[in-house]
Amino acid sequence: MTMVTIRPYSQALDRLRAAGLRPTRQRLALARLLFDGCDRHISAEQLHNEAVANNIRVSLATVYNTLHQFTDAGLLREIVVDAGRSYFDTNVSDHHHFFYERSGKLCDIPAEMIGVTKVPDAPAGLKISRVEVIVRVDG
């Protein structure tokens, strides 16, 4: 391997490949918005607005589809804190959240900053899929 080829979208492309999702124009563009940069908590509507602002032609329906496909593929995690609004978290590693009730904003809390002890076993051989801690802040 002697030459370095310029590969825009590469991170996004790799993620789609790894997830077995066809790298369509829309998925690539959305993946770039989501994953090129720092971790974020974003709603479907926010992402759609951002796409439009970046001259990416994509429908809201496709944004919803894509967010769910990414979530199913483990690229995103869905967070529900508020009735009637879903956020998607680009950070899928083990961590928790502050939720600012007034503004509706979310903020990560690294896993190691909260200790959860003595979680009871799931009843009847069921498996615990996640232990979620939400620290609700009144501001």
Partner DNA sequence: GTGTTTGCAAAGTGTTTGCAATTTA
Partner DNA sequence: TAAATTGCAAACACTTTGCAAACAC
Which one of the spans 4-12, 55-63, 116-124, 127-135 is the region binding DNA (CB under 7 A)? 55-63
13 or 111: CB nearest DNA: 13
Take residue 86 and report the two structure tokens written for it: 């879903």
Amino acid at 127: K
Q: Are 102 and 136 in contact (CB under 8 A)?
A: no
Q: Are strands 95-100 and 105-110 parallel, antiparallel or unpaired?
A: antiparallel
Residue 17: strand, helix, or coil: helix
- Least Å from the CB of residue 85 to a copy of itself: 7
Which one of the spans 58-66, 92-100, 120-128, 129-137 is the region binding DNA (CB under 7 A)? 58-66
For a copy of itself, the binding residues (CB under 8 A) are 78, 80-86, 98, 100-101, 107, 109, 113-120, 122-124, 126-139
- Least Å from the CB of residue 107 to a copy of itself: 8
Q: Which helix (H) or strand (E) covers residue 68, if one does? A: helix 60-72
Instruction: Report if residue 98 touches DNA, rule: CB under 7 A.
Output: no
Q: Binding DNA by CB under 7 A: which of 34, 58, 75, 81?
A: 58
Q: How many CA atoms lie within 13 A of 120 on its CB side?
A: 3
Amino acid at 101: E
Instruction: Report if residue 91 touches DNA, rule: CB under 7 A.
Output: no
46 or 111: CB nearest DNA: 46
- Least Å from the CB of residue 78 to DNA: 9
Instruction: Report if residue 41 touches DNA, rule: CB under 7 A.
Output: no
CB proximity list for 7: less than 8 A, separation 6 or greater: 13
Radius of gyration of the chain (CA): 17
